Structure 1
Amino acid sequence: MKTDLALHQQLVAPTDTATAIHTEGLRKVYQGGKDGPVALECLDLTVNKGEFFGLLGTNGAGKSTTIGMLTTLVTPTAGIAWVAGHEVSADPVGVKSRIGVVSQANTLDRALTVLDNLAFRGRYFGMSASAARRRALDLLEQFDLADKASAKAHQLSGGQARRVMIGRALMHLPEVLFLDEPTAGVDPQAREDLWQIIGNLHKAGQTVVLTTHYLDEAETLCQRLAVIDHGHLLACDTPEAIKATSGAQTVITVRYDADAGPVEGAVRRIPGGPHDIVIDGPTLRMRTTRPDGVLGHLLREGGAVGLTVRDAATTPPSLQTAFLTLTGRDYQP
């Protein structure tokens, strides 16, 4: 372990800043040059050391493009980015030596054993053969994969492969760990296991940057979130603050015993409006920023036109409703 710590000290440049990532005006335009389709527009972002930071957005929002630029795989069209104190475009080698990356695709070498997949990564970063093997075995034990050390990559389940990829990315003790949709395509139990592993890494002090299109994943794991849509940063704060400051609405759903149409006019006059109301047969759904007393009004107004409430539910502001408020459309991963 001393060898590993010494390696870490050599790799990390001394710094007095608490910032792990900082971008200014980061922009990416694909095919067609500066007038082509914009994948990311003028991203200003700061991630603190030791933070669990999430990039949340639907597929094609610009999350993977952002990760690609921060990890030197994608060249920015404009703007500048620093990762672990090194400017991405000017010093890509310095950045690569200080980051670990887990991509969406399975990039394990199918010809190697699980142990060798990790050990060879350590050797690539300058570890001795014995130090790399020790570090690999420690990580496999930590991730409950010690019994898979001699297995080939193609013999692993999807969740096991993701755990091995995370272990491989941690071989050289990176300052920042990038996870690009790490739970996409895995079964629910494997997803829970990955959540626990990633959460434990953060508790131990690891800076983590996660891209995800799963709202529950973002809310469960991330201390702060950047909400990205169509290449634009819409919000950046804690999940609770985003829900509170975006004007996210409470959703109240009532199912009557007959068509809810006759009650619509009276419901629209409920104090605190205007309310966003959708009627689908006997079901009335209302979005409101002032939910106090609304459910009682719905019961009374329904009774006034001869309708009986069969079912009712109140859903408080969530990332789902925050996204709706920020973008004007429902969240569709």
Structure 2
Amino acid sequence: MNAKRHQQESPLPALDMEVRIGSLTLSNPIMPASGAFGEDMDTIVDFNRLGAVVPKSITKHPRKGNATPRVCETSAGMINSIGIQSKGIDYYLQHTIPYYRQYDVPLIASISADSVEEFAEMAAVIGSRAGVSGLELNISCPNLKGNGQAFGLDPEITCQLVGQVKQATSQPIIVKLSPNVTSIQEIALAAEQGGADALNVANTVLAMAIDVHTRRPKIGNVMGGLSGPAVKPIIVRMIYQVSQVTKLPIIGCGGVMNGEDVIEMMLAGATAVQVGTASFIKPTALTDILDEIQAYMRQYGITSVRDLIGGVVV
């Protein structure tokens, strides 16, 4: 009886998980968020199962980062103000890029810089290295040659920055937008005008927490970026809004904790999704989420993950 039942069972249907970000093809839509992923996770997560790897943002010169404490928990997430602690571009070229070449998965290098010119300079150097498949521009950092305001808060500077980077490299350019704007659509269109190949929606939401017993901020830098489940509805809204004004691929980022969160972002218009805070809570979150997406697809008879993109019914 058992043998007969075994003979009648059909194999699970093959699932097409492939997505495209500009000229870059990913085997699936799941990747880590910059700053929430590193080499020390290789014993916990099979990097080769990911759509791409995105190490922590790199700066031109080494940086110590912000004052401590840098992280605090909130009721539905966490606030961080790391300050892009970095070993500098030389270390990145000599150690980080060669390390990830051992894996059969695209490396997207996240770049942070102090000026438009420095972004272009770093893009030219990093983008020319074998093993790099794309560049993510963290335009939420302050423009030190301007008025100190983050690049991504100004559409004109955003367009100029992306344009200069596009002239400096042939790599696919992903622009990581800031959610701390009045109109994220305006910044998205500026990035598209500058030549962006894709958009990351979005970085962390500016937030603050105070210890009521000491009356002091819980973060050494006073304010920091809120991530985790609390921000997901905001990010879903922004993904949907951006998808209404541009055809560029969108990478959703913010509050993803499970497979359904990814599917929600894809239905809103995301092509791929980054996972951050969830990995701090559950180190295997990246691959667990991928398994959950595949289970959902089989449950609903979906053979291509691309059929989810922009599938919300309104």
Considering the TM-score relative to the shorter chain, is it more than 0.5? Answer: no
Larger strand proportion of the pair: 1
**CA radius of gyration, larger in:** 1
TM score, norm. by length of structure 2: 0.33
